[in-house]
Amino acid sequence: MTFEFPKSLDDLPISSPKWVGKPVNRVEDPQLVTGKTEFIDNITLPGMVHCAILHSPHAHARIKSIDMSRAAALLGVVATLTGEDAERWSRPMYTTPQGWGGYVLATDKVRFVGEPVAAVAATSRYIAEDALELIDVEYEPIDPIVDAFSAAQPGSPKVFEEHDDNIMYQRVFTWGEVDESFQKADHVYKESFRWNRVGANPLETFGVISEWDLVDDTLTCRGAFQTASFMAMGRAATFRLPSNKVRFIAQPHGGSFGGKGGGRGTDITLMLSRKAAGRPVKWIEDRMEYLSSGGSQAWDRHYEASIAVNDDGTVTALRVKLLDDMGATAEGFGATGAVKPMASFTGCYAIPNAEYDLTLVATNKLPASPYRGMGPPPHNFVLEQMMDIAARDLGLDPAEMRRRNFIPADQFPYIIASGNEYDSGEYEAALDKVLEMAGYEQLRREQEEARAQGRHVGIGVVSTIEPGVFDWNAYTVIGTQGIGIPEGVTVAIDTMGKITARVGFALEGQGQYTVVTQLLAEYFGVELEDVRVVLADNLSAPPNFGPGGSRLGVAITGAVLGAAQRLTEKLTKVAAKLFEVQPEDVELLDGMLRVKSVPESQLSVANAAAIMLNRSDMLPPDVDPSPQATFAWTAPGRVEPDEQGRVKSYLTAANACHLVMVEVDPDTGQVEILKYYIADDCGTRLNPANVEGMVQGAVAQGVGATLLEEYVYDDDGQLLTASFMDYLLPTIHEVPFPEKAALVTPSPFTPLGAKGAGESAIHTTPAAIMCAINDALLPLGVRAKEVPASPNRLWKLIQGASG
Amino acid sequence: MAAKRDIRLTVNGVAYEATVEPRMTLVDMLRGELGLTGTHVGCEHGVCGACTVLMDGRAVRSCIMLAVQADGADFMTIEGLASREGELHPIQQAFIEERGLQCGFCTPGFMMSILELLQETPDPTDDEIKDALGGAICRCTGYESILKSVRSAAKKLLAPAS
Amino acid sequence: MKPASFEYFAPTSVADAVSLLQEHGLEAKLLAGGQSLVPLLNMRLARPTVVIDVNRVDGLSYVREDGDALAIGAMTHQREVERAELVQRVNPLLHAATRLIGHPQIRNRGTVGGSIAHADPAAELPAVALALDAEMHITGPNGEKAVPAADFFVTYLTTTLEPAEMLTEVRVPALPQGTGWSIQEMARRHGDFALAGATVTLSMNGGMCSDARVVLFGVGATPLRVQQAEERLIGERVDAALISEIGREISSSIDEPLADIHATSEYRRNLAGVLTERALVEALGRAA
Ligand SMILES: Cc1cc2nc3c(=O)[nH]c(=O)nc-3n(C[C@H](O)[C@H](O)[C@H](O)COP(=O)(O)OP(=O)(O)OC[C@H]3O[C@@H](n4cnc5c(N)ncnc54)[C@H](O)[C@@H]3O)c2cc1C
Ligand code: FES
Ligand code: FES
């Protein structure tokens, strides 16, 4: 059966949309605003004990001995665990690239400060932490490898003895005539950049409760899992168990942004449960653990970029060389973040030739994790600085420079040099919208006046792509197979006509249960209250992956519409039998199954379902008495990458244009955001309030990354930012509230034309703010090339200018 | 282990007794001993505001207070904001309407600070709102919708009861 | 992140608190607002075996006018100081400084005595206490005494308080009518501890500066009074040129401040000068 997905809201079986496309209130909110939502730490199971984990104080050391006896003897301690147990019971961690990891508890040596070394389970977390102080570990420190450049040198001391060096991955991807383009170009610009580590920091850290049933070797884990099914498969592999013996129940969680982590904590609690005769073991990662050893850190990058530009400003080639510091292991999927920029390598621009020289290096720092945006934000920062550098030199206005290079609206779908296909876009329209909102010319005049008064005011105008809806083929070049599985839903109508949708992903904040509710209420012509979305564990849910890669909104829309259509086919047959017509003569409209030629002959969806369940005599022979349908959606036409890694990996390309005006205080280096405008185009907006919330939230994270947040390690590999006193998340005082406009260029490839939108502004905000800062610094003749642009850094830069 | 202590306190109008170790934090007592899990924990060192509750009418961080210090005090937590019949408080209604939350993990803490603010300053300026909320972290919303929620809640609370 | 075990006492009088301190010596810690102490307990960075909670000691929470000074009980919440109309009227600098401490929720618990006894070099209250010649009233095993702010702060997180002594009251002289004042600080985020700060009082008489105080914070091991700068001001017509000269002198003359991940010592020095200039400009504008 092939499905014809509705291309737009007009194609839905209703006279006029009542819910979809409207900013309806979220169905998840009443529970959340009353504090009733079941986050993992709210759950207490009978017999449950509490885990605490001992973390390495050294960045690099051999473990000579571990003595757990004093800890085990403490009153209240139920079980203890070390790397020996992990070696006996589990496989080394799955890593990407493969072969760069150890066991979940260190065995031979520790490779970063914070690496789990041992664990205990006790009757309270307090006692468990007391027990940690009684564990005797003898370390023999080794010189840590902290600097990425030295680590990448031949002959550097090694993080993993079994490898030849610290290079986890190295490859040059060449797309088109790169050398020739640089030779022929009128102008070539070259610059290097530094992006320091930042990361997700959801307000809720990771947490899990694990049970290892010793009688039949089944595992049950409840936790703050972003991708429960994927985690479950991983555990089956790790513990060599049949995958249907691993049950994962995702609890609603307090944000994730890709950086929830949790693999180690889950495995450690499972093994502790095994040692504690199957008692449930809870582990709630505390904030200092999250910052120093969780899924908290991403994007530790050293860039060199060059662009080839003609006199008229058209860019003919882009070269980016990246040294990405992955930290000690490749367990965290941080490497995917270095690959994802290939999905939007040349941004909004028609740059025909490009090259990506990519090196992933191991050092003695926390393994890198994903973070919202998954890698392009630093890449965009680099690309957009290069665009500004070229514009300045050519005497072009930065907005004009971009306009001259945009992929024209009539060229879509458009395949970029690195192989991904952009579905649709109106980049120039978005730029024009922003310029109009900002009153660009007037703003430039204001800037001139400010400059005349000696103030350092600058404007950045940046357009970016948000690749959306990743697929299994997106990360195969670094050896990650099979991520990007279908997203499914089961839709059921009960005998009272109420609708239940069963999904496999937990609440995380994006409002996806509301979207499912809107779609189903719309499709079947009922009220929002008539629909309920419930979560199923991995064993009972339809195929699913969950949020990630800006995919869930699109994927779940496809799944819901597919299931609704399947269900409608059954209901239609019931109605056809009742009215004694052919199924083709019956249609669904506004919640009624009606005979096309005799609209008065109609049967409500609820009644049709009730007939199926209660009246076998009225059931058509080819219909089973089940008003339920399951559908799993996946993007069509996803194939393997070619020999240069070119691949159609992300189905949609959302676009945003940001204009920001800042002032730099030359005496303190402090940046103030004066004005901020955004035009955002993510295709059809299923719930515009959801999208706006995401945009604003991502602006905040972008501001954090650009001005405040940074993980700092000293030369010994000690983390200096292990608390919220030092890792600075933006507050209400630091976050601007941009004026926002929506453009809608539907995707021709997705159900209803929606595009992936969950990452949104983080792709653009850092680039835009940095462009604005550099515009402000222009009269001083210096350029900021390091993110975050902390006051100290900018001040120092400015000192260099005048002194 | 130090001797446990008996304490009595009122939370959301209900009197409780608990026996706690002196080292137990207030938030661990509220959540673990009293089962009031609506108050969340984001950092345990006083920076994020997730654990904010009202103690004798004042917004305080329950992660950096000891449970024993609660003896004799009167608390309000998120569980006490809606009426016992389940009717949402205007602040809660405003958060739903203005999208003042995404994951909702920070929300109870924010609401407690907002309650203190609006009790003292029924019609706050934006600067007053920012001052009252500047010590709380929301990683999802970017704060704009929270600010709008406060404005809207203030309006609702000022409107004569209909 | 849970505290290690400790014995807990909640004395109801200063005398009891002091005798408990005497009994338990260095093992014991006073618990006031807990806004600095409890995070350290949670992280197990502070490990007292005895915690003496002085929140139940009667009569230590007040703000009173006493002659030409404000008498503030050590256990007075910072928020009460901020709210007290009396403080705003008699000592607007103290009011402004208090508002710069953290956030309302912190000030609801944090105490005046706690902040001063904790003596974080970047804290506002110690700096203002020094600038205003506050007097610390202390009770110990040998009775009561008063120590001027100038003698109170010894080094990083250390004061002249002996292990068995407790700060009970802070007396802050009123700001004389017409005195110009300012407190300027630079923090990474609103409400964070300052990277550096400067607080200034300035008395002008017939266009000439008759008295001045310049105190820096966040740049040394204690709040730092810059007498050199005060001497440059007194007897002078304070103008833009003098102010920027003083700023420059401060930036180049103060001892190398501590460096941390947010600020190098070079940068802190610069901030000290810049913020002093800004404080002087503002204070001058306020001086009558
Ligand atoms: C998020 C956050 C932000 C903050 N920002 C700032 C800021 O910007 N500026 C700032 O100045 N502070 C800031 N603080 C700290 C806050 O001001 C504290 O209140 C203050 O430092 C300590 O006061 P306390 O009453 O809480 O003391 P406690 O934490 O109870 O005690 C601190 C120390 O002082 C001792 N002590 C307390 N009272 C006495 C006494 N009467 N006699 C003798 N010893 C005593 C204690 O034994 C302890 O060693 C912040 C705190 C947090 C959590
Ligand atoms: S949990 Fe209490 S302030 Fe963060
Ligand atoms: S809504 Fe998620 S942290 Fe605020």
User: 3-state SS string over A183-231?
Assistant: HHCCEEEEEEEEECCECCCCCCCCEEEEEEECCCCEEEEEECCCCHHHH
* Cβ-based contacts of C51 with chain B (< 8 Å): 22, 66
- pTM of the entire predicted model: 0.97
Interface with C, mutate which of A130, A711, A792 (most C CBs under 10 A): A792
Residue in B79, B81, B103 closest to A508 by CB: B103
* Cβ-based contacts of C4 with chain B (< 8 Å): 23
Is the per-residue pLDDT at A803 higher than 50? no
Q: Is residue B147 lining ligand 2, measured as CB closer than 6 Å?
A: no
- What residues contact B20, with CB distance under 8 A and at least 6 apart? B4, B5, B7, B29, B33, B67, B68
Rounded average pLDDT over C129-154:
98
pLDDT at A484: 63
Residue in B44, B59, B64 closest to C35 by CB: B64
Cα(A518)–Cα(A12) distance, integer angstroms: 12
One-letter identity of residue A548: G
CA C115 / ligand 3 centre spacing (Å): 31
Residue B85 lies in a domain: no
Tally of structural domains, chain B: 2
* Cβ-based contacts of A26 with chain B (< 8 Å): 96, 99
Cα(A12)–Cα(C249) distance, integer angstroms: 74
pLDDT at B161: 60
pLDDT at A623: 95
CB contact under 8 A, A720 and C2: no
**A333 near A260, Cβ under 8 Å?**
no
Q: Is residue B49 lining ligand 2, measured as CB closer than 6 Å?
A: yes
* Cβ-based contacts of C186 with chain A (< 8 Å): 668, 670, 791
> For position B75, which CATH number holds?
3.10.20.30
Q: H or E stretch including A556?
A: helix A552-579
| Structural domains of chain A sorted by starting position, each given as residue range(s) with its CATH number in brackets | 9-37+485-633 (3.30.365.10), 40-142+205-253+261-293 (3.90.1170.50), 375-470+650-802 (3.30.365.10)
Is the per-residue pLDDT at A236 higher than 70? yes
- Bridge partners, C158 (sequence order): C155
**A663 near A671, Cβ under 8 Å?**
yes
Is the per-residue pLDDT at A309 higher than 60? yes
CB contact under 8 A, B52 and C103: no
Chain B neighbours, 3+ Cβ pairs < 8 A: A, C
Strands laid side by side in the C224-225 sheet? C180-186, C196-205, C208-217, C224-225
Rg of chain C taking only CA atoms, in angstroms: 19
Chain centroid offset of residue C219 CA: 14
CA B108 / ligand 3 centre spacing (Å): 10
Rounded average pLDDT over C166-183:
97
Q: Is residue B139 lining ligand 3, measured as CB closer than 6 Å?
A: yes
Rounded average pLDDT over A334-363:
97
CB contact under 8 A, A253 and B88: no
Q: Does C212 touch chain A (CB under 8 A)?
A: no
Q: What is the bridge-based pairing of β-strands A598-604 and A61-67?
A: unpaired
> Can you read off the two tokens belonging to residue A175?
């797309």
Q: Does B59 touch chain C (CB under 8 A)?
A: yes
Residue B10 lies in a domain: yes
Both B34 and B74 in one domain: the answer is yes
CB contact under 8 A, C8 and B2: yes
Instruction: Reduce the DSSP state of residue C145 to 3 states and report it.
Output: strand
Among residues B105, B62, B146, the alpha carbon closest in space to that of A202 is found at B105
Both B147 and B96 in one domain: the answer is yes
Ligand closest to Cα of C189 equals: 1
Torsion, Cα C208 C210 C216 C217, to 10 degrees, reads -130
Note the pLDDT tens digit of each residue in A549-577.
Answer: 778 899 999 999 999 999 999 999 999 99
| Pocket probe mutation, ligand 3, options B40, B52, B106, B111, max atoms within 8 Å of Cβ | B106
- Bridge partners, A210 (sequence order): A221, A281
| Structural domains of chain C sorted by starting position, each given as residue range(s) with its CATH number in brackets | 7-56 (3.30.43.10), 63-173 (3.30.465.10), 180-286 (3.30.390.50)
One-letter identity of residue C180: G
| Pocket probe mutation, ligand 3, options B95, B96, B140, max atoms within 8 Å of Cβ | B140
Cα(A569)–Cα(A134) distance, integer angstroms: 65
**A200 near A298, Cβ under 8 Å?**
yes
- What residues contact A588, with CB distance under 8 A and at least 6 apart? A13, A524, A568, A571, A572, A605
How far apart are the CA of B69 and the nearest CA of chain A, in angstroms? 18
ω into A97 cis (within 30 of 0): yes
**A652 near A715, Cβ under 8 Å?**
no
pLDDT at A191: 98
Burial of B151 (0-12, 13-18, 19+ CB in 10 A): middle
How far apart are the CA of C226 and the nearest CA of chain A, in angstroms? 21
Instruction: Reduce the DSSP state of residue A744 to 3 states and report it.
Output: coil
Both B11 and B69 in one domain: the answer is yes
Note the pLDDT tens digit of each residue in A367-411.
Answer: 999 999 999 999 999 999 999 999 999 999 999 999 999 999 999
pLDDT at A1: 47
> Can you read off the two tokens belonging to residue A742?
């929506």
> For position B120, which CATH number holds?
1.10.150.120
The structure tokens 């199954």 sit at: A593
Q: Which residues of C223-247 are buried (b: 16+ CB within 10 A; e: fewer)?
A: bbbbeebbebbeeeebeeeebbebb
pLDDT category at A483 given cuts 50, 70, 90 is low
Task: Tell me which chain C residue has its CA closest to the CA of residue B20.
Answer: C8
CB contact under 8 A, A130 and C262: no
Ligand closest to Cα of B136 equals: 2
One-letter identity of residue A588: L
> Can you read off the two tokens belonging to residue A611?
């007939």
- Bridge partners, C148 (sequence order): C135
Burial of A637 (0-12, 13-18, 19+ CB in 10 A): exposed
**A653 near A755, Cβ under 8 Å?**
yes
Residue B153 lies in a domain: yes
**Listed range (A505-514, C76-85, C217-226) with the worst mean pLDDT:** A505-514
* Cβ-based contacts of C191 with chain B (< 8 Å): 134-135
How far apart are the CA of B8 and the nearest CA of chain A, in angstroms? 22
Note the pLDDT tens digit of each residue in A603-646.
Answer: 999 999 999 999 999 999 999 999 999 999 999 889 999 999 99
Q: Is residue B108 lining ligand 2, measured as CB closer than 6 Å?
A: no
> Can you read off the two tokens belonging to residue B130?
């920012």
Q: Which of B80, B111, B132 is the last residue of a domain?
A: B80
> Can you read off the two tokens belonging to residue A305?
């970029």
- What residues contact A607, with CB distance under 8 A and at least 6 apart? A497
* Cβ-based contacts of B134 with chain A (< 8 Å): 731-733
Both B76 and B94 in one domain: the answer is no
Cα(A559)–Cα(A39) distance, integer angstroms: 26
Cα(C87)–Cα(C64) distance, integer angstroms: 9
* Cβ-based contacts of C264 with chain A (< 8 Å): 792, 796
Both B72 and B118 in one domain: the answer is no
* Cβ-based contacts of A670 with chain C (< 8 Å): 186
- What residues contact A757, with CB distance under 8 A and at least 6 apart? A466, A468, A550, A553, A654, A682, A683, A685, A691, A694
Tell me the backbone φ, ψ of residue A111, rounded to 5 degrees.
Answer: -120, -5
**A759 near A691, Cβ under 8 Å?**
no
Q: Which of B62, B80, B98 is the last residue of a domain?
A: B80
pLDDT at A802: 60
Both B73 and B106 in one domain: the answer is no
Note the pLDDT tens digit of each residue in A714-726.
Answer: 999 999 999 999 9
Cα(A645)–Cα(B10) distance, integer angstroms: 64
Note the pLDDT tens digit of each residue in A88-136.
Answer: 999 999 999 999 999 999 999 999 999 999 999 999 999 999 999 999 9
Percent residues over pLDDT 90 in chain A: 94
Cα(A684)–Cα(A751) distance, integer angstroms: 10
Task: Tell me which chain B residue has its CA closest to the CA of residue C43.
Answer: B45
Chain centroid offset of residue A455 CA: 38
Cα(A762)–Cα(A754) distance, integer angstroms: 19
CA C118 / ligand 1 centre spacing (Å): 6
CA C113 / ligand 1 centre spacing (Å): 8
Is the per-residue pLDDT at A22 higher than 90? yes
Q: How far apart are the first and last CA of chain B?
A: 56
Rounded average pLDDT over C40-69:
97
Task: Tell me which chain A residue has its CA closest to the CA of residue C1.
Answer: A286
- What residues contact A709, with CB distance under 8 A and at least 6 apart? A198, A199, A727, A728, A729, A730, A788
Ligand closest to Cα of B43 equals: 2
Note the pLDDT tens digit of each residue in B126-142.
Answer: 999 999 999 999 999 99
Q: Does C261 touch chain A (CB under 8 A)?
A: yes
CA A607 / ligand 3 centre spacing (Å): 41
Both B59 and B108 in one domain: the answer is no
> Can you read off the two tokens belonging to residue A221?
């884990």
Atom of ligand 2 nearest to the CA of B41: 1
Which CA distances in Å does C220 have to A140, C157, C186, C225, C257? 37, 11, 15, 10, 5
- Bridge partners, A465 (sequence order): A655
CB contact under 8 A, C189 and A708: yes
Rg of chain A taking only CA atoms, in angstroms: 28
Atom of ligand 2 nearest to the CA of B40: 1
Rg of chain B taking only CA atoms, in angstroms: 16
Sign of CA dihedral B30, B35, B38, B41: positive
> Can you read off the two tokens belonging to residue B129?
């709102």
pLDDT at A3: 73
Tell me the backbone φ, ψ of residue A289, rounded to 5 degrees.
Answer: -65, -45
Residues of chain B with pLDDT under 50: none
Supply the range of the domain harboring residue B141.
90-158
**A295 near A207, Cβ under 8 Å?**
no
Note the pLDDT tens digit of each residue in C114-125.
Answer: 999 999 999 999
- ipTM of the prediction greater than 0.85, yes or no: yes
CB contact under 8 A, C7 and B2: yes
One-letter identity of residue A212: W
Ligand 1 environment, Cβ below 6 A: B 46-47; C 29-37, 39, 74, 101-102, 106, 110-111, 113-115, 117-118, 120, 123-124, 161, 166-167, 193
Which CA distances in Å does A463 have to A6, A44, B93, C68? 30, 48, 36, 62
